[in-house]
A and B are shown apart, each in its own frame.
Chain A
């Protein structure tokens, strides 16, 4: 899935979401964009640590940065989350299809085995 020149990678998004502080930053930004300083104040971690987290979130395109005079504001970008959702949807479909094939195979084989007494070839 592409947006302008950017590809949203589920791996980068999951990696960004894997950290609890980053999840909390996203939760904060969900309520509205914030300047960098205010984000740092909301957490019991150092300013450089928050900057590092914001960098990871920016790389995953989960947040974007805007300058307003001397301030940098961060806001949440929903597009990568949609990518992840549709990516997971793909995997639901994948397993549904395979389970349906498994069902058909086992039911066909089993009914032959119990009526004809034929045993499956085992490796």
Chain B
């Protein structure tokens, strides 16, 4: 089951999951456009139908698909870091949401040994993968980073408490 948390010291969405397959196999599934098309999206919601990927730093990638409304969409970007099978970092530019332009997606694939992993076949230790996705850069300022780190810690920290309480100490108008 995937767990998701907002990391309070960055404008980042963090989601994790465990996959019972080695990191190499997971890395293939996230970089091979033929395989991406098979798991990305859901029937009745949206589906990726095509794409390409130049899996190297500076290489371009693109996924094209169809939304639930039948309208075509594209998500594309550039690979920033490629270190198979443990790390993949790329930009994310969806045609359907320009406010996400140049956000950054970071895939961290960590091997995790599991006993009795395979239900069929010999019962020996297999390797699974802890997959962590960090999607960041929503403020659109990853490159500029003007006092980015420290300032965000404070803002997002009190922002959540603030949102939960719903109002300031000051009276409503």
Pick from B19-27, B65-73, B77-85 the stretch touching chain A: B19-27
Stretch at the interface among A14-22, A38-46, A48-56: A14-22
Closest to B53 in A: A123
Interface of B is mostly: mixed
Query: Could you tell me which residues of chain A, from 86 to 100, have a CB within 8 Å of some CB in chain B?
Result: 88, 91-93, 95-100
Are A107 and B154 within 8 A (Cβ)? Answer: no
A115 to B119, CA, bound (A): 10
Give the number of A-B contacts (CB < 8 Å).
148
A10 contacts chain B at the CB level, 8 A cutoff: yes
Task: With CB as the reference atom, state the residue of chain B lying closest to A31.
Answer: B169
Q: How large is the interface on A (under 10, 10 to 19, 20 to 34, 35 or more residues)?
A: 35 or more
A122 interface residue (CB < 8 Å to B): yes
Chain A residue at minimum C-beta to C-beta distance from B118: A114
Nearest CB of chain A from residue B134's CB, rounded to whole Å = 10
- Interface 1/0s, chain B 141-173, versus A by CB < 8 A? 100101110010011001110110011111001
| Residues in B whose Cβ lies below 8 Å from that of A66 | 173
Which one, A17, A29, A99, A113, contacts B15 given CB within 8 A? Answer: A99
Contacts known (A30-B162, A76-B168, A121-B34); A101 close to B15, Cβ less than 8 A = no
Q: How far apart sit A75 and B144, CA to CA, in the bound complex (Å)?
A: 28
In the complex, chain A residues whose CB is within 8 Å of the CB of B41: 98, 101
In-complex Cβ contact of A78 among B25, B120, B154, B167 (8 A):
B167
Is A98 within 8 A of B40, CB to CB?
A: yes
Residue in B15, B19, B135, B158 whose CB lies within 8 Å of A30 = B158
Residues in A neighbouring B169, C-beta threshold 8 A: 30-32
- Evaluate contact between B121 and A105: CB separation under 8 angstroms: no
With an 8 A cutoff between CB atoms, is B99 at the interface? yes
Interface flag for A103 (CB, 8 Å): yes
A122 contacts B154, CB within 8 Å? no
Q: Decide yes or no: A10 and B168 within 8 Å by CB, A97-B42, A100-B2, A115-B120 being known contacts.
A: no
Q: Residues on A close to B: CB < 8 A?
A: 9-11, 14-15, 17-20, 23, 26-27, 29-33, 64, 66, 75-76, 78, 81-82, 84-85, 88, 91-93, 95-107, 109-111, 113-115, 120-123
Q: List 7 A-B contacts (CB under 8 A).
A: A30-B162, A30-B168, A95-B13, A95-B15, A101-B41, A102-B19, A103-B2
